[in-house]
């Protein structure tokens, strides 16, 4: 990993993303063989998260990729209240138990790790690699790539329907844009990781029963409105130059 990283950060970032997508896709048929939903996915995600964290930590890159506390006061982020609201999105239509106990535990573990892995890959590795040449391009590519990456759910055996997947792609690209602004202007990836992980984990209890296309569209419009307004506020109030963050070694 280290040699590839030193040779080309962009190639390293893209390679990590490809490996992540492949492993996630391979986990789906293994889950069915094991007979416990998300069991193999959880194991693979734990391993990937551990490997990435070990690499970043041992290479002295914690601050580089925002795995530390920001120096900017919480009030400038509106005390992260919009992120808390966004985190509850999957409960806006009520709650339900979608998996047996073992499956629920595996799902939550998997989704918590996914939040960490995807933030480091897309907002960390990919964004930082491209940002060396052009910040605006890095913001757009990291956000759009993150959104389009969710198209894999149509072909990886997850069983997601086309309409739901398209909503997911648009929502992922939008919140990816918000997250990259949070990271670039705030210097810390931790709020993004926590929010991403919370959204994913809470989806274990999302209630899709009787959810019409109209209700889905309304909730997505509200979701997008919160993201857009919060992003605009952050771009107006946060420092224009990325702040250093506090790391505990």
Tens digits of residue pLDDT in 31-66 = 999 999 999 999 999 999 999 999 999 999 999 999
> Which residues does residue 206 pair with via DSSP β-bridges, in sequence order?
95
Question: pLDDT digits over 220-236, tens only?
Answer: 899 999 999 999 999 98
pLDDT at 210: 80
Q: Which residue has the higher pLDDT, 44 or 159?
A: 44
Residue 159 has pLDDT above 60, yes or no: no
Question: pLDDT digits over 184-218, tens only?
Answer: 999 999 999 999 999 999 999 999 888 887 888 88
pLDDT at 158: 53
Mean pLDDT of the chain: 90
Question: pLDDT digits over 93-130, tens only?
Answer: 999 999 999 999 999 999 999 999 999 999 999 999 99
pLDDT at 102: 96
The full DSSP string for 39-105 is HHHHHHHHHHHHHHHHHHHHTT-TTTTT-SEESS-GGGGGGGHHHHHHHTGGGTT-B---S-HHHHH
pLDDT at 49: 97
Residue 192 CB: number of other CB atoms within 10 A?
A: 28
Sequence-ordered list of residues with C-beta below 8 angstroms from that of 35, at least 6 positions apart, any chain = none
Tokens of 241: 């130059």
Tokens of 189: 């990836």
Tokens of 47: 């391993």
Under 8 Å between Cβ of 202 and 149: no
Pairing of strands 245-246, 69-70: antiparallel
pLDDT at 155: 60
pTM of full prediction above 0.95: no
């Amino acid at each position: 990993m280290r040699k590839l990283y030193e040779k080309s950060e962009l190639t390293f970032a893209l390679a990590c993303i490809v490996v992540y997508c492949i492993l996630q896709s391979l986990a789906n048929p293994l889950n069915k063989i094991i007979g416990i939903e998300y069991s193999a996915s959880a194991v693979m995600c734990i391993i990937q998260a551990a490997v990435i964290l070990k690499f970043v930590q041992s290479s002295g890159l914690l601050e580089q990729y925002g795995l530390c506390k920001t120096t900017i006061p919480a009030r400038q982020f509106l005390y992260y209240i919009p992120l808390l609201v966004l985190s509850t999105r999957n409960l806006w239509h009520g709650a339900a138990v979608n998996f047996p106990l073992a499956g629920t535990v595996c799902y939550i573990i998997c989704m918590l790790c996914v939040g960490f892995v995807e933030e480091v890959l897309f907002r960390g590795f990919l964004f930082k690699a491209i940002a060396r040449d052009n910040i605006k391009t890095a913001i757009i590519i990291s956000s759009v790539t993150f959104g389009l990456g969710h198209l894999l759910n149509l072909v990886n055996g997850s069983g997601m329907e086309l309409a739901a997947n398209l909503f997911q792609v648009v929502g992922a690209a939008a919140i990816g844009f918000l997250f990259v602004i949070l990271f670039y202007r705030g210097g810390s990836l931790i709020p993004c990781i926590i929010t991403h992980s919370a959204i994913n984990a809470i989806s274990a209890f999302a209630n899709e029963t009787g959810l019409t296309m109209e209700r889905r569209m309304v909730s997505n419009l509200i979701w997008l409105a919160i993201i857009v307004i919060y992003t605009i506020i952050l771009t107006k109030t946060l420092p224009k130059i990325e702040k250093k963050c506090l790391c505990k070694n």
